[in-house]
Amino acid sequence: MPDFSLSTETKELLENVSVATLATALYKRGLRNQVIQDVHPVKRKGRNMVGPAFTLRYMPAREDRNQLVEFRNPKHPQRHAIEICPPGHVMVMDSRKCAYAASAGDILITRLMVRGAAGVVTDGGFRDAMNIGELEMPAYHNRPSSPTNLTTNEAIDINVPIGCGDAPVFPGDILVGDDDSVIVIPAHLADEVAKEAVEMTAFEDFALSKVRAGASIIGLYPATKEESLEEFKEWRAKNGR
């Protein structure tokens, strides 16, 4: 699974489109299940999280393997993953949609941020969520969860294909999160989807401005009337889009 390299250009494009628009662009390509379900920003950041996925897989914890002493192991997969996640990447955790116990806490997530990660996503919950929300790095989870992750989660695999919130995530896939949700763009589609989403966003912004000014959506969204497309062309020229 060779790592697709996220270009600076594509990254910038993806920083300026919504997850909803990206979901539609993937829908056109037959991909319907790429939005991570029931995962929310720990705190809304007003900007997009963008980066390739670096994954961590949890399994149910067995008590004899998950005493606090385990964390003393320098190669404990949860700790190790935090230390080797490449800068610019988004760490994505398969917590089996279980928020009974934490996926991680503020010390680890702060370390991840200091190391240059672009963000973190779990389909479980973070402990110290009140602190994690205040970090500059975006974080997404289901809900705050204070028990130590050893209670129900054992970190078992680093950077393997996983599920997160019922979406498939392969290492290197491009994760984009906005103030609503997070989406997984297959690596090989990132460039073309980014470009298309920027085009779609231009049209949506145009349509929204028309709607605000009183236009009907019929014929405009989608643009089945010829005049809508012409007006859009003018709008783009005028607004430099």
Report the DSSP pairing between strands 125-126 and 102-104: parallel
Which residue number, 9 or 218, has a Cβ lying nearer to a copy of itself?
218
Confirm or reject binding of residue 16 to a copy of itself (CB under 8 A): no
Closest CA to 10 of 194, 174, 156, 153: 194
String marking each residue 210-229 x if it binds a copy of itself according to CB under 8 A: -xx-x-xxxx-xx-x-----
Long-range contacts of 224-228 (CB under 8 A, 24+ apart): none
Nearer Cβ to a copy of itself (84/239): 84
The number of beta carbons lying within 10 Å of the beta carbon of residue 174 is: 25
Spatial neighbors of 141 by CB under 8 A, at least 6 apart, are: 39, 40, 42, 99, 103, 121, 122, 123, 124, 125, 126, 129
Q: How far is 175 from 39, CA to CA, in rounded Å? A: 13
Q: Which of residues 188-207 bind a copy of itself (CB under 8 A)?
A: 204, 207
Supply the minimum distance, in Å, between the C-beta of residue 88 and a copy of itself: 17
Q: What are the structure tokens assigned to 120, written together? A: 């973190």
Strand duo 174-177 + 49-60: pairing: antiparallel
Candidate residues 13, 31, 117, 194; the one interacting with a copy of itself per rule CB under 8 A: 31
State CA 232 to chain mean position distance.
Answer: 31
Q: State yes or no: cis peptide before 2, omega within 30 of 0.
A: no
x-or-dash pattern for a copy of itself, window 42-81, by CB under 8 A?
--x--------------xxxxxxx--x--xx-x----xx-
Interaction residues for a copy of itself, span 85-104 (CB under 8 A): 96, 98-100, 102
Q: Which of 51, 46, 12, 86 is nearest to 184 (CA)?
A: 51
Q: Applying CB under 8 A, what is the total number of residues that bind a copy of itself?
A: 87
Closest separation in Å from C-beta 240 to a copy of itself: 21
> Which one of the spans 7-15, 21-29, 191-199, 231-239 is the region binding a copy of itself (CB under 8 A)?
21-29
In whole angstroms, the minimum distance from the beta carbon of 83 to a copy of itself comes to 6
CB 152, min distance to a copy of itself, A: 8
Residues 152-181 that bind a copy of itself (CB under 8 A): 154, 156-157, 160-163, 166-168, 178-181
Select from 43, 86, 147, 202 the one that contacts a copy of itself (CB under 8 A).
147
At 108, give phi and psi (nearest 5°). Answer: -65, -40
92, 128, 190, 197: which one binds a copy of itself (CB under 8 A): 128
In whole angstroms, the minimum distance from the beta carbon of 8 to a copy of itself comes to 25
Pairwise CA distance, residues 31 & 134, whole Å: 34
Nearer to a copy of itself, 88 or 223 (CB): 223
